[in-house]
């Protein structure tokens, strides 16, 4: 796998900076905290660390509302702290990725404040303004992801501005070349400081159809689903102009050596892979593949998807990637259950493609119930009728040890979100000492990836294991063949010749006899003899 790039070869580890390590003692994680934990990150065997937004922000959407694209928010530290983090990471061989939020700024951004001055403001056209409908109401039926209309009236000018998220997150007007130039300037600023790559927030939403037509209703919407899903978003998502802007963005990245971007894109595979571009016109290096998150946890369905996706990637010349969780999704251990956890982790780290891991998943963190009076996520607060809407449960502090505040923050400090009730048992320190822990299983998997290039660069081919609850596939490279056997169910399953060969790793640790049946919920990696 020598010719692979770092973002193909390695694992991306997502840190939600508010929740990783609080060095300053204010209950919120920060950059110096992350720097202090770099040796831990290196010990995991990951390649790159992606930081959710650290930029100057009023934090109404916890940093996804940027008030200065080239500044570090004081809550997280200073530019000097950031430089130290990058240097420290690079010394340990870790890449650093930032979270770039181009679709919208904060309403506190100087650009929006200038635009608010009136229709003649030089920055007016940097955002998306429309006159009211003839009856004075919103220009059309577009909705915010967080509930309510995607339009807010600016009383002074009598016009509405577009916001696909909070009213305090006005959409930037990407059709305006000045906006694009300014936003590319921010990318260059961070790349000059040594940043290796970017996760690009809602990249598939950058442009809107400029006829501003009503979106069609979604016939599959039901009460209990978020309001945003009541429409089919054919005019606000995946527009041809968006593709053009991404091609431009890619050229900015290519001004620097070996940089990459991964795009946040929630689309079906046939509309997702075009975001990788073509050999001649490249776009994002990785278009996030979130499909394992949305689909039922079922061996046959996961296999069918993996087959389809892998083949589509080969055809499109796109490098595959896999995700089980992030700061917007419920913890995967909570979704698949304790028993399915190691099967899922094995799947993530052995399918062909770049895995992205969410902080804490390596120790098996689960959703933490957050009582109503402690809820802070606007997506949850604005949609109280949708219990699953809040993203607080998957954003709770990292569990480092069994001291007060689990080592996340000094004793006596109140963390910004509550810690898991079992943090005194489920934590890094405890799992370091336990050979059979989730943490050591994760490390065993990353070690295997390093020792066996077939797991990284090898071809993927699935097998019919003869049972609906077993997913079996092989990874082959240069004569080495590794078989991954995943028992999604609670039955013992004899998979015959598929299990023949030396067991390199079992989720139940003991290798067992050659060719032994799969035990309930066992994940096993076998080297064919
Ligand atoms: O989470 C989602 C899919 O289940 C969608 O609601 C949508 O993809 C998401 O809200 C978009 O997320 C990104 O942009 C938001 C920010 O709040 C999220 O944290 C970020 O990941 C606005 O910047």
Q: Whose CA is nearest to atom 22 of ligand 1?
A: 64
C-beta atoms surrounding 160 within 10 Å: 22
Cα(380)–Cα(389) distance, integer angstroms? 5
User: Which residues sit opposite 357 in a β-bridge?
Assistant: 13
Which protein residue has the closest C-alpha to ligand 1 atom 12?
Answer: 202
pLDDT bucket at 514, cuts 50 / 70 / 90: confident
Task: Average the pLDDT over 264-280 and give the result.
Answer: 97
Atom of ligand 1 minimally distant from the CA of 293: 4
In the set 217, 255, 258, 491, the catalytic residue is 255
Say whether 112 sits in a helix, a strand or coil.
helix
Residue 512 is predicted with a pLDDT of 79
Residue labelled with tokens 């420290």: 88
pLDDT digits (tens, 9 = 90+) for 415-464: 999 999 999 999 999 999 999 999 999 999 999 999 999 999 999 999 99
Rounded Cα gap, residues 516 and 499, in angstroms? 7
Catalytic residue among 47, 61, 201, 361: 201
Known catalytic residue at 258: no
- To the nearest 10°, report the CA torsion of 93, 99, 100, 104: 180
Query: Which pairs from 118-122 meet CB under 8 Å and 24+ separation?
Result: 118/156, 118/157, 119/157, 119/159
How far is the C-alpha of 495 from the C-alpha of 512, rounded, in Å?
14
Cβ 229 under 6 angstroms from ligand 1: no
Ligand 1 touching residue 328 (CB < 6 A): yes
Q: 201 an active-site residue?
A: yes
pLDDT over 90 percentage in the chain = 97
Mutation to probe ligand 1, out of 202, 206, 266, 294 (largest number of atoms < 8 A from CB): 202
Ligand 1 touching residue 165 (CB < 6 A): yes
DSSP class of residue 24 equals S
Q: Does 2 have pLDDT greater than 60?
A: no
* pLDDT tens readout for residues 102-158: 999 999 999 999 999 999 999 999 999 999 999 999 999 999 999 999 999 999 999
- Residue found under tokens 């994760």: 442
- Across the range 358-365, mean pLDDT stands at 98
238 lines ligand 1 (CB under 6 A): no
The reply to whether ligand 1 has any atom less than 6 angstroms from the CB of 201 is: yes
Residue 387, pLDDT score:
85
Which residues make Cβ contacts (< 8 Å) with residue 435, sequence separation at least 6?
A: 509
In angstroms, the CA 162 to CA 150 distance is: 6
Nearest protein Cα to ligand 1, atom 11: 202
Average pLDDT for the chain? 97
pLDDT at 1 over 80: no
CA of 93 to the centre of ligand 1 (A): 30
Question: For residues 245 and 209, what is the distance between their CA atoms, to the nearest angstrom?
Answer: 14
Average of per-residue pLDDT across 196-210: 98
- Distance, CA of 381 to CA of 8 (rounded, Å): 38
Q: What is the chain's length?
A: 529
SS3 357: strand
Pocket test for ligand 1, best of 262, 328, 383 (most atoms within 8 A of CB): 328
Residue nearest (by alpha carbon) to ligand 1 atom 6: 145
Structural domains of the chain, with CATH: 455-527 (2.60.40.1180)
Q: How far is the CA of 183 from the centre of ligand 1 (A)?
A: 20
Angle at 290 between CA 359 and CA 199, to 5 degrees: 60
Q: Which of 64, 204, 226, 236 to mutate to test the pocket of ligand 1 (most atoms within 8 A of CB)?
A: 64
Q: Is residue 63 classed as helix, strand or coil in its secondary structure?
A: coil
Return the ligand 1 atom nearest residue 326 CA: 21
For residue 104, which atom of ligand 1 is closest to its CA? 23
Neighbours of 473 (CB within 10 A): 23
- pLDDT tens profile 225-268: 999 999 999 999 999 999 999 999 999 999 999 999 999 999 99
327 lines ligand 1 (CB under 6 A): yes
Which residue has its alpha carbon closest to ligand 1 atom 15?
64
Q: Is 288 touching ligand 1 by the criterion CB < 6 Å?
A: no
Q: Which atom of ligand 1 is nearest to the CA of 266?
A: 8
> Which region, left, alpha or beta, applies to residue 405 given φ > 0 means left and ψ of -120 to 50 means alpha?
left
Q: SS3 of 243, please? A: helix
């Amino acid at each position: 796998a020598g010719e692979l790039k770092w973002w193909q070869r390695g694992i991306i580890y997502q840190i939600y900076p508010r929740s990783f390590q609080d060095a300053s003692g204010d209950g919120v994680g920060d950059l110096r905290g992350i720097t202090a934990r770099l040796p831990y990150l290196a010990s995991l065997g990951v390649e790159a660390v992606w930081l959710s937004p650290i930029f100057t922000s009023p934090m109404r959407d916890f940093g996804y509302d940027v008030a200065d694209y080239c500044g570090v928010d004081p809550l997280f530290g200073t530019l000097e702290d950031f430089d130290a983090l990058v240097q420290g990471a690079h010394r340990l061989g870790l890449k650093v990725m930032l979270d770039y939020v181009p679709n919208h700024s904060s309403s506190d951004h100087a650009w929006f404040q200038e635009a608010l001055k009136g229709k003649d403001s030089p920055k007016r056209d940097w955002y998306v303004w429309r006159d009211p409908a003839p009856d004075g109401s919103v220009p059309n039926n577009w909705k915010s992801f967080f509930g309510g209309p995607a339009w807010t009236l600016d009383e002074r000018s009598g016009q509405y501005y577009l916001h696909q998220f909070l009213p305090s997150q006005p959409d930037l007007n990407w059709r305006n070349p000045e906006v694009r130039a300014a936003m590319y300037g921010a990318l260059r600023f961070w790349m000059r400081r040594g940043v290796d790559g970017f996760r690009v927030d809602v990249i598939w939403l950058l442009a809107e159809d400029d006829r501003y037509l009503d979106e069609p209703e979604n016939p599959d919407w039901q009460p209990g689903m978020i309001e945003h899903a009541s429409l089919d978003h054919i005019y606000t998502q995946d527009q041809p102009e968006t593709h053009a802007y991404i091609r431009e963005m890619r050229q900015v990245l290519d001004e620097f050596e070996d940089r990459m971007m991964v795009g946040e894109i929630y689309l079906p595979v046939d509309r997702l892979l075009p975001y990788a571009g073509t050999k001649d016109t490249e776009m994002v290096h990785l278009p996030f593949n979130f499909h394992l998150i949305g689909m039922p946890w079922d061996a046959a369905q996961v296999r069918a998807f993996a087959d389809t996706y892998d083949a589509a990637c080969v055809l499109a010349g796109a490098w595959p990637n896999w995700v089980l969780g992030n700061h917007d999704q419920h913890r995967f251990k909570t979704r698949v259950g304790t028993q399915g956890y190691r099967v899922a982790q094995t799947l993530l780290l052995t399918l062909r493609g770049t895995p992205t891991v969410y902080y804490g998943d390596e120790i098996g963190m689960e959703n933490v119930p957050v009582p109503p009076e402690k809820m802070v996520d606007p997506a949850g607060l604005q949609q109280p009728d949708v219990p699953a809407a809040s993203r607080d449960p998957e954003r709770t502090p990292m569990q480092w040890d069994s001291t007060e505040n689990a080592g996340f923050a000094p004793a006596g400090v109140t963390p910004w979100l509550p810690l898991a009730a079992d943090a005194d048992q489920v934590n890094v320190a405890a799992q370091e000492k336990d050979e059979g822990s989730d943490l050591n299983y994760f490390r065993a998997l990353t070690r295997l990836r390093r020792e066996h290039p077939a797991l990284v660069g090898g071809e993927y081919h699935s097998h019919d294991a003869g049972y609906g609850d077993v997913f079996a596939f092989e990874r082959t490279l240069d004569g080495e063949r590794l078989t991954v056997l995943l028992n999604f169910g609670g039955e013992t399953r004899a998979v015959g010749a598929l299990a023949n060969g030396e067991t390199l790793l079992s989720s139940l640790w003991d290798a067992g006899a050659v060719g032994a049946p799969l035990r309930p919920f066992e994940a096993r990696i076998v080297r064919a003899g």
